[in-house]
Structure 1
Amino acid sequence: MSEADASEGAPAGREIWIEKYRPESFEDIYGQEEIVERLRSYVERDDLPHLLFSGPAGVGKTTAATAIAREVYGDDWRNNFLELNASDERGIDVVRDRIKNFARSSFGGYDHRIIFLDEADSLTDDAQSALRRTMEQFSDNTRFILSCNYSSKIIDPIQSRCAVFRFSPLSDDAVRQQVEDIAAAEGIEVTEDGLDALVYAASGDMRRAINSLQAAATTGDVVDEEAVYLITSTARPEQIEEMVEAAIDGDFASARSQLETLLVDTGMAGGDVIDQLHRSAWEFDLDERTTVRLMERIGEADYRITAGANERVQLEALLASLAAEE
């Protein structure tokens, strides 16, 4: 039984939409067209190599892995597909025991089984070395699909044994299309402004877009811009721009007041403010020299917050430095 079938048996309103609408085949995947085409050719030629998927969260890495299993094994895919999350099971024992036991176990009718190791960049170096040897030992009857956020954290001997696929953040059109399809399927009215807000808040992350849609849909009959920004604790782009422009114009008190609104009233974390500043910096109506100066200040604040400094102090210092240079 598929995830969609399982979720249909759940009480109304309690389905998790990211699972209910998870694509089950290559045709259902939104975005990543070039990657999907290459993966489809592997399956059609029955020539599946070890694979390494890298990229940010919510862009289709896990979905692509399960779609491969469904295409290769059909209804029997669960018996020939082992999924492990390396962030929970990081030790070398997992590689030596669970993976080896699955790779050794007998199966009928197929040339190989698939082991999907999610968040593989969380594996220790020793575990990755053990995984490399396991990949060699069971290459005759097992294919590995590794998923990670940062391929640079995967040791070179593993990367050289895999076909590497780099998943990019999904396009706004891909996110918009799936959100529209889900809203239509669920009978939800989404305004054009609300749709724009969902796409903006998602920032290329389909999982975030779907979760935000489901959360916003519980607040009323219509999903509009206000509901989306409230649910996602995201500032409107114009709020961020007004805050920065006030600081650049030397009005530190006004900029600080707007920052206070974002942190207290909107409930944003300092890191979220930094992320939105970084995303929007080149869209502000600023000259190039000022934008470069802003990016430099954003980098400094981000580094200090990551190192454990107080978020509000660093953000106020960022605005103060912009105001002081005028």
Structure 2
Amino acid sequence: MVNYEAPWIEKYRPTVLNDVVGNEEAVERLKVFARQGNIPNLIISGPPGTGKTTSILCLAREMLGSAFGNAVLELNASNDRGIDVIRNKVKMFAQQRVTLPAGKQKIVILDEADSMTDGAQQALRRTMEIYSKTTRFAFACNQSDKIIEPIQSRCAIIRFTHLSKAHILARLLTVCRTENVNYVDDGLEALVFTAQGDMRNARFYLTIALNNLQSCVAGFQFVNSENVFKICDEPHPLVVKDMLDHCSRADQPEAHKVINHLWTLGYSAEDIIGTIYRVCKSHSLPAALKISFLKEIGLTHMRAAQGRGSLLQLSALVARLCRCALPAYQKANLEV
């Protein structure tokens, strides 16, 4: 019989507010609501994967206890985004009678609420007014300004931000200790690095880190940087750092060799540029040179995103980075 293990991102999903990682001030506000037992309508906005919906579910679980199953309606507004959903599902749930302790209300959770149509939001505004005594509404969204003003004015707005590297590391350590995972520090650092996404958008940092951790344990039973980069199949940051070192010395031939090596390994231009960007941000280059490098990397990334990703673009990037570094490198050699 095959033993199927639950994904760790689900297994270790917080069920109480004390387990939520990061955004301490916002979570403290939610804890106050949970203690008081009477919440306002809420809008929680912030980047994807920062725990917005999970925090709302934790709040509802702590407030409603055993009544959670009957007194909570959760909808993903990116799928259920039309006016019919508001008129049918939401309105019917709001009309439903549920036995709750005194002072408690039913909760409607709308995930990705900024995807709702204007018509659906207008219909929801009216529903919020009519059933304000028995039902509370909690919206999770990436951009609160896409929620219409009449709804915003009826809600307390709480903003979440990206999880820091320290928050992700702390969560990974907790999971490693609970699952008795064999690891070394550079393995966890590599997991955080691979979870930090690219320059285009906010990525699900903690989700990616936990998924990569589980894959590494399943594949190798040991978490170190080499195994992590095998699992994630990304350009190794040490190789990219070596390329940046050559560029900082205006050593164009050696830098080209590294880029050609990465290209022959099958990495796309966007993969390589994204890793160059992340490595450059943490590289100990002089500030002025780092700014020049990041500007050139960003311009190359833009061209690659427009469909011009090729070895020619990467070679041009190396040439421009070496040109940026050449004056400072020549000056340093003259002084010596």
Per the normalisation by structure 2, the TM-score is 0.82
Is the CA contact (8 Å cut-off) linking 1:50 and 1:162 kept in structure 2?
yes
Unaligned ranges ≥5, structure 1: 1-9
1:188-199 map, 5 Å? 188-199=181-192
1:244 alignment partner in structure 2: 244
- What are the Cα deviations for residues 231-285 of structure 1, in whole angstroms up to 9, with x where unaligned? 12334433333223333444444334433444553x6554444444444434223
Q: Is the aligned partner of 1:181 residue 2:163?
A: no
Q: Is the aligned partner of 1:224 residue 2:224?
A: yes
1:299 alignment partner in structure 2: 298
From 84, 100, 105, the equivalent of 2:75 is 84
Give the 3-state SS of the residue equivalent to 1:189 in structure 2.
coil
Q: Distance in 2 between matches of 1:69 and 1:319?
A: 53
Q: Percent identity among equivalent residues?
A: 38
Q: Distance in 1 between matches of 2:32 and 2:86?
A: 29
1:162 alignment partner in structure 2: 155
- What are the Cα deviations for residues 190-212 of structure 1, in whole angstroms up to 9, with x where unaligned? 11221221223233822112111
Is the CA contact (8 Å cut-off) linking 1:58 and 1:208 kept in structure 2?
no
Shift of 1:24: 0.8
Is the CA contact (8 Å cut-off) linking 1:51 and 1:165 kept in structure 2?
yes
**Residues 72, 240 of structure 1: CA spacing in aligned structure 2 closer, same or farther, 3 A cutoff?**
same
1:4 alignment partner in structure 2: none
Q: Distance in 2 between matches of 1:127 and 1:188?
A: 47
Q: Distance in 2 between matches of 1:152 and 1:270?
A: 34
1:74-223 map, 5 Å? 74-110=65-101, 111-203=104-196, 205-223=205-223
Larger displacement relative to structure 2 (162-171 or 309-318) = 309-318
- What are the Cα deviations for residues 97-152 of structure 1, in whole angstroms up to 9, with x where unaligned? 32222222222225321111112222234433333333333322222221122334
Query: Which amino acid letter does the alignment assign opposite residue 62 of structure 2?
Result: E
**Residues 288, 220 of structure 1: CA spacing in aligned structure 2 closer, same or farther, 3 A cutoff?**
closer
Per the normalisation by structure 1, the TM-score is 0.85
Give the 3-state SS of the residue equivalent to 1:75 in structure 2.
helix
Q: Which has the larger radius of gyration?
A: 2
Q: Distance in 1 between matches of 2:243 and 2:34?
A: 51
Shift of 1:155: 3.5
Is the CA contact (8 Å cut-off) linking 2:255 and 2:318 kept in structure 1?
yes
Shift of 1:27: 1.9
2:285 alignment partner in structure 1: 286
Question: Aligned residue pairs: how many?
Answer: 316
Larger displacement relative to structure 2 (77-86 or 273-282) = 273-282
Q: Is the aligned partner of 1:57 residue 2:56?
A: no
Q: Distance in 2 between matches of 1:181 and 1:142?
A: 36
**Residues 155, 202 of structure 1: CA spacing in aligned structure 2 closer, same or farther, 3 A cutoff?**
same
Is the CA contact (8 Å cut-off) linking 1:271 and 1:311 kept in structure 2?
no
Is the CA contact (8 Å cut-off) linking 1:113 and 1:141 kept in structure 2?
yes
1:7 alignment partner in structure 2: none
Give the 3-state SS of the residue equivalent to 1:165 in structure 2.
strand
